[in-house]
């Protein structure tokens, strides 16, 4: 009898733990879940999942301390510009990626003519267009001229690159999803990041260091 009582007790604690875990998971912000890449390969999604964890932590901390009236700064709703006028591109993304949609809207506000395609396996397109594993993010943009822009690249740097493309380069990338980059705005928070140049031989180099939000404009 004691043996069965012990088994029941362990089972009860295990079930309680499972219920608590499910409650915690269900409480995560839906906007973060929308940015995950559940359909990509495991190795391809690891950098993005790590960045999501960092974003989640920042959001939780700020939701505890920020007043209800705290303004949300969103570059995608800023005044329209013509930085990317006459540039057309296809954006490959996950159907449920909210920050991808934000970036597309931001790029269109800066003049880009964008066609979004929801795909089941983003890693196939990243491999096709030569995006190195460590440079990958949540969406891949390919212009009609064949240049690749991976992730939340600022329109300013896209325009600069397209005006004078380096001979050895195939495009630019912002690895993972830095908080405060275009399409990843949250309550004015900002994480410094680098815009990386992708070269034809598979190497990368720093194209621009973004240390403040103003440098993106």
Q: CA torsion sign, 108 to 182 to 216 to 146?
A: negative
Please report how the helices 155-163 and 98-109 are oriented relative to each other, as an axis angle in degrees rounded to 10: 60
34-77: per-residue pLDDT in tens? 354 333 333 444 544 455 455 445 444 444 444 443 333 444 44
Strands 193-199 and 169-174 come out as antiparallel
pLDDT number for residue 33: 38
pTM for this one? 0.69
Strand order in the sheet with 113-118: 113-118, 88-93, 139-143, 148-151, 169-174, 193-199, 204-210
Contact 177, 151 (CB under 8 A): yes
The larger pLDDT score, comparing residue 102 to residue 45, is at: 102
Element (H, E) at 113: strand 113-118
Q: Where are the alpha helices (DSSP H) in the chain?
A: 2-26, 30-33, 42-65, 98-109, 122-128, 155-163
């Amino acid at each position: 009898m004691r043996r069965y009582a012990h088994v029941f007790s362990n089972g009860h604690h295990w079930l309680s733990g499972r219920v608590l875990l499910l409650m915690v998971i269900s409480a995560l912000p839906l906007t973060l879940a929308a940015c995950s890449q559940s359909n990509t390969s495991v190795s391809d999604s690891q950098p993005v999942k790590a960045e999501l964890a960092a974003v989640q932590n920042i959001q939780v901390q700020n939701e505890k301390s920020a007043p209800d009236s705290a303004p949300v700064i969103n570059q995608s709703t800023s005044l329209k510009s013509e930085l990317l006028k006459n540039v057309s591109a296809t954006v490959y993304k996950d159907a449920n990626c909210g920050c991808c949609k934000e970036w597309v809207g931001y790029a269109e506000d800066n003049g880009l003519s964008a066609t979004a395609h929801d795909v089941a396996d983003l890693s196939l397109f990243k491999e096709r267009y030569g995006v190195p594993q460590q440079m990958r993010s949540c969406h891949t943009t390919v212009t009609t001229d064949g240049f690749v822009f991976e992730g939340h690249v600022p329109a300013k740097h896209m325009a600069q690159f397209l005006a004078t493309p380096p001979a050895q380069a195939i495009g630019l990338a912002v690895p993972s999803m830095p908080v405060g980059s275009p399409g990843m705005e949250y309550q004015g928070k900002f994480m410094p990041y680098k815009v990386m140049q992708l070269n034809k031989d598979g190497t990368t180099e720093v194209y621009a260091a973004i240390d403040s939000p103003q440098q993106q404009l």
